Amino acid sequence: MTEKSENMPAPLSSSALFQEQVKRTFRSNKLTGLGAVIFLLVLLAAVFAPLLSTHDPLIQNILDRLEGPSAQFWMGTDAYGRDIYSRLLYGARISLTIGGVAILSAMVIGTAIGIIAGYYGGKVDDVIMQFNDILLAFPTLILGLIVVAMLGPSMQNMIIAISLTSIPGFARIARAPTIVVRERDFIEACRALGYRDWRIMVFHILPNVTSEVLVMASLWLATAIRTEASLSFIGLGVKPPAATWGGMIREGFENILDNPWLSIFPGLAILLVVFSLNLLGDGLRDAIDPKTRVD
């Protein structure tokens, strides 16, 4: 028996069923795979931006301003003579960091709120979900705008703003399966084993909720990146001269008739990321939704 210790279970694995479904989805649905590959490439580009970039994204070179794409400047230069390609790479870092951190924290907080509301039900549920619905009633961009306008534009405040706008959605997504799982016999069995409420929520309900939450996280990451770009576009994002995609589009706007690539390249970058995340999220959603699942 002791020599079997390598057969001991991994600590709290998440849903095996979900993993199985995800594998099946990637095999059967090429678009989901494409989305995953594109997003992964963008992620790698952001991580290795210092290696991949050809110029310093911040150094201005007035002599080379507004150049078209060339061997030296792959995507041309902006009005200050900065290399667009290098700025795009560094912009990916900011967009993905803000989007990623915001969605991650919203996912943790929103899921916790949703599980607590769903598990306890009754008045706790009523109060939490009423408040949640009020937040949900605001369009994401407007809510983000209000928060950033109040706190002032900075990376940290952008994260807070986008996170706040995403929390109610996660709470709603986590609450629904919690209400279903709460009534299942194994939760009663947990109570009969003397487990505390928090233990039941963390170790027994959460693993049953993660697949839904993760799917929505990939879709909402796209929304978060769009919101970040929109806020940067209207000048409420990370302060210049830092490169952000939304900020680059706005800067390009001033010369859009003569040098449209200034806005086109960052626009394409946003499109690519949002598109890849939507492909990925839709595929994953199909994988867990029995109504759209094709066996």
Partner 1 sequence: MHTMPNSIQSSESNPDIILDVRKLRTSFRIAGEWHAAVRDISFTLRRNETLALVGESGCGKSVTALSVLDLVPSQNGRIEAEQIQFNGRNLLGLSEDEMREIRGNRISMIFQEPMTALNPVLSVGHQVAEALLYHRDMNKEEANRAALELLDQVKIPSASSRFKEYPHQFSGGMRQRVMIAMALACRPDIILADEPTTALDVTIQSQILALLGELKRDTGMSLIFITHNLGVVASIADRVAVMYAGNIVEIADVDSLFAHPTHPYTEALMRSIPRSDRDTETLHSIPGQVPPISRMPDGCRFAARCDLARPICRKLDPALQQINAGSTHEVACWVRGDHDLTAIEDRANG
Binding site for partner 1 (CB under 8 A): 1-2, 4-5, 7-18, 122, 184-186, 188-189, 191-196, 199, 203-204, 207-208
- The span from the CA of 26 to the CA of 11, in Å, is 26
Contact residues for 292 (Cβ-Cβ < 8 A; gap 6+): 285, 286
Would you say 24 or 65 has its CB closer to partner 1?
Answer: 24
Nearer to partner 1, 92 or 287 (CB): 287
- Give me the least distance between CB of 205 and partner 1, in Å please: 9
Q: How far is the CB of 120 from partner 1 (least distance, A)?
A: 11
Neighbour tally for 62: CB within 10 Å: 8
Least distance in angstroms from the C-beta of 18 to partner 1: 8
Sign of CA dihedral 280, 167, 206, 117: negative
Structure-token pair, residue 101? 């951190």
* Beta carbon of residue 192, minimum distance to partner 1 (angstroms, whole number): 4
Q: Measured from the CB atom, is 118 or 246 closer to partner 1?
A: 118
Residue closer to partner 1 by CB (options 9, 290) is 9
Amino acid (1-letter code) at residue 118: G
Which pair of tokens denotes residue 273? 């990321």
CB of 209 to partner 1, least distance (A): 10
User: 38 or 214: whose CB is closer to partner 1?
Assistant: 214
Which string of DSSP letters, residue by residue, matches 47-75? HTHHHH-SS-SS---GGGTTPPS-SSSTT
Q: Which is nearer to partner 1, 208 or 223 (CB)?
A: 208
SS3 of 168-191: the string is HHHHHHHHHHHHHHHCCHHHHHHH
Nearest approach in angstroms of CB 165 to partner 1 is 30
Burial of 273 (0-12, 13-18, 19+ CB in 10 A): buried
Q: How far is the CB of 193 from partner 1 (least distance, A)?
A: 3
Which lies closer to partner 1 via its Cβ, residue 190 or residue 277? 190
Q: Using alpha carbons only, what angle is made at residue 165 by residues 211 and 134, rounded to the nearest 5 degrees?
A: 105
